[in-house]
A and B are shown apart, each in its own frame.
Chain A
């Protein structure tokens, strides 16, 4: 008995982690998947109902708006975060004075919650006393900036706040990537007469392919999950114009009590994330095995 215990101790120690994740992650996802095929309203029902919830979901105007918003947000969020992140990383890589201070400034939003920063942005973007008033007081009398309360433009305020929060993260990833490149490569290129622009454009950035890949995966994953920022900034409004899937899911589940429908929307989100993450984990694992 004691021998057995000693031999299996590592596995016993490992058991809580595996058990908890098995139950609370995989078990729960399967439960949600099952419920998405039932006609559950306030309380879960366990008779299978087929794909009715998915049909209902994709016929719902609100869900379609949410998906549309997600696509707009993801595209802009990705582009701006990556472009700003790369510019900052390359510029910081030029033996800059006060690099530490600048880096700290670029990255501090990551330490704050989306609720805190959303509250700040909501105040800055509000048309009566925020940026709009600032410009009018400066003499630009016809200046209007009412995106926050404008149905067409409100989604872009979420992009502004989201990029502000996450661009520093991309900067940190690329800076780490650039710093891991051997100095010799850059020196050799310079001896061959390449200028700094060519060194980055032709040599260093192509070497950063894994960092691009990682940033892409992390940013897409952040944007699919984005919830807090929208709650703090617009609550999905004006109207339902800034609804996103995560917000749709919680509203359908906890305010409208449509458990089956919200489970279906949760599974759509799950599949979207899985489609991005599984290839990523696979390639990471292969890279590690190759070494």
Chain B
């Protein structure tokens, strides 16, 4: 009797083992299918950029290129060298660098200060001030495009990298403030209080107590701002054209301006060049990038 019960238990265990194994396989199968779907466009971009137009016409999207042919990358980066009408990405890549570096610096600095005050030097109504800033994360920028265009005109910095630095600094502040505020909230205020009793001033407390522990949030903020500003198209295309344009605008112009035959390999090489800086940052520091993404949304 006991023996029988034992063996049926064994059978059951065996059965659940098989179901489990089947479930595991199913799990991995679905995950891999989705991984292929997500990787597919990147794969197509890379192989297309390495093919000649002849190969592109003969093969399919998935066909492996015949060799490592970086010609279209060179054309995308440096042009064909025939002067007028020859658009290539190199100058616009530098425009983007010149725009991103100061804009990230200023917006991060202002956000750090604001987050510090909002958590460690609280004043009456500070919650409302935070909400006031926070709303700026969400406004559709269409509602500020027209006056911004006029303001940049009045200041004499429309169609310039400086103008874009101003725009990106300002509209980055809500995000940077959010990041620093949410980070500093979790740091015990007792330390700050003790330092204040000891007579330490506003800046001394910031530099001696807060800044040394801020590295993670500074990294998160810089990566977030870098990615946002590098990838921006709306501001770039509205407030700049021609020589002052950032790289995303130049990429779009290059792809749209089909003079004769469409060169998909050059298009794809251009797209990769425009995407590579943020992609590298993502691969190297993905953890911080994801923290930025989710901390804007899920708090506490």
Interface residues of A (CB under 8 A from B): 6, 9-11, 13-14, 16-18, 20-22, 24-25, 27-29, 31-32, 35, 44, 84, 87-88, 91-92, 94, 96, 102, 104-117, 119-124, 129-131, 133-134, 137-138, 164, 168-169, 172-173, 176-177, 210-211, 214-215, 218, 221, 224-225, 227-228, 231-232, 235, 245-246, 249-250, 253-254, 259, 262-263, 265-267, 269-270, 272-273, 277, 281, 284-285, 287-288, 291
Cβ-defined contact, B60 with A133, below 8 A: yes
B39-82 interface mask toward A, CB cutoff 8 Å, 1 = contact, 0 = none? Answer: 11110110010000000110011100000000000000000000
Partner of B60, one of A29, A107, A113, A134: A134
Residue B138 lies at the interface, judged by CB distance under 8 Å to chain A: yes
Residue B231 lies at the interface, judged by CB distance under 8 Å to chain A: yes
Partner of A9, one of B45, B173, B202, B272: B202
Partner of B233, one of A11, A109, A114, A287: A114
Q: A104-B286, A169-B293 are in contact. Are A273 and B140 (CB under 8 A)?
A: yes
Cβ-defined contact, B298 with A173, below 8 A: yes
Cβ-defined contact, A267 with B275, below 8 A: no
Cβ-defined contact, A124 with B41, below 8 A: yes
A116 to B289, CA, bound (A): 19
The stretch from B3-11, B26-34, B157-165 touching chain A is B26-34
Please, which residues of chain B bring their CB within 8 A of the CB of A105? 35, 38-39
Cβ-defined contact, A13 with B117, below 8 A: yes
Cβ-defined contact, B30 with A87, below 8 A: yes
A36 to chain B, nearest CB (A): 10
Interface residues of B (CB under 8 A from A): 27-28, 30-31, 34-35, 37-42, 44-45, 48, 56-57, 60-62, 110-111, 113-114, 116-118, 121, 123, 127, 129, 131-136, 138-148, 150, 169-171, 173-174, 177, 201-202, 227, 230-234, 237-238, 248, 251-252, 255-256, 264, 267-268, 270-272, 274-275, 278-279, 281-283, 286, 289-290, 293-294, 297-300
Chain A residue nearest to B202 in the complex (CB): A9
Cβ-defined contact, A108 with B279, below 8 A: yes
Chain A residue nearest to B283 in the complex (CB): A104
Please, which residues of chain B bring their CB within 8 A of the CB of A284? 299
Cβ-defined contact, B267 with A273, below 8 A: no
Cβ-defined contact, A17 with B44, below 8 A: no
What are 10 A-B pairs at a CB distance below 8 A?
A24-B148, A108-B42, A108-B282, A108-B283, A109-B41, A113-B230, A115-B233, A124-B61, A176-B298, A266-B142
Please, which residues of chain B bring their CB within 8 A of the CB of A176? 294, 298
Cβ-defined contact, B300 with A267, below 8 A: no
Please name 7 further chain A to chain B contacts, defined as beta carbons within 8 Å, in addition to the given A111-B279, A129-B56, sorted by A numbering.
Answer: A6-B202, A14-B113, A116-B251, A124-B41, A270-B143, A284-B299, A285-B131
Cβ-defined contact, A173 with B233, below 8 A: no
B151 to chain A, nearest CB (A): 8
Please, which residues of chain A bring their CB within 8 A of the CB of B170? 20-21, 24
Chain A residue nearest to B34 in the complex (CB): A88
Please, which residues of chain B bring their CB within 8 A of the CB of A130? 61
Please, which residues of chain A bring their CB within 8 A of the CB of B270? 119
Cβ-defined contact, B31 with A88, below 8 A: yes
Please, which residues of chain B bring their CB within 8 A of the CB of A120? 41-42, 44-45, 268, 271
Q: Report which residue of A116, A137, A218 has the largest number of chain B beta carbons within 10 angstroms of its beta carbon.
A: A116
Chain A residue nearest to B282 in the complex (CB): A111
Q: Report which residue of B42, B248, B297 has the largest number of chain A beta carbons within 10 angstroms of its beta carbon.
A: B297
Please, which residues of chain B bring their CB within 8 A of the CB of A20? 110, 169-170, 173
Cβ-defined contact, A29 with B234, below 8 A: no
Cβ-defined contact, A13 with B113, below 8 A: yes
Cβ-defined contact, B286 with A107, below 8 A: yes
Please, which residues of chain B bring their CB within 8 A of the CB of A281? 131, 134-135
A245 to B268, CA, bound (A): 28
Cβ-defined contact, B234 with A228, below 8 A: yes
A42 to chain B, nearest CB (A): 12
Partner of A44, one of B31, B44, B150, B267: B150
Chain B residue nearest to A30 in the complex (CB): B147
Partner of B264, one of A31, A129, A138, A270: A129
Please, which residues of chain A bring their CB within 8 A of the CB of B123? 10-11
A10 to B129, CA, bound (A): 13
A272 to B143, CA, bound (A): 12
Please, which residues of chain B bring their CB within 8 A of the CB of A291? 300
Cβ-defined contact, A218 with B41, below 8 A: no
Cβ-defined contact, A25 with B248, below 8 A: no
A115 to B38, CA, bound (A): 17
Cβ-defined contact, B177 with A270, below 8 A: no
A21 to B177, CA, bound (A): 11
Please, which residues of chain A bring their CB within 8 A of the CB of B275? 112-113, 116-117
Cβ-defined contact, A102 with B117, below 8 A: no
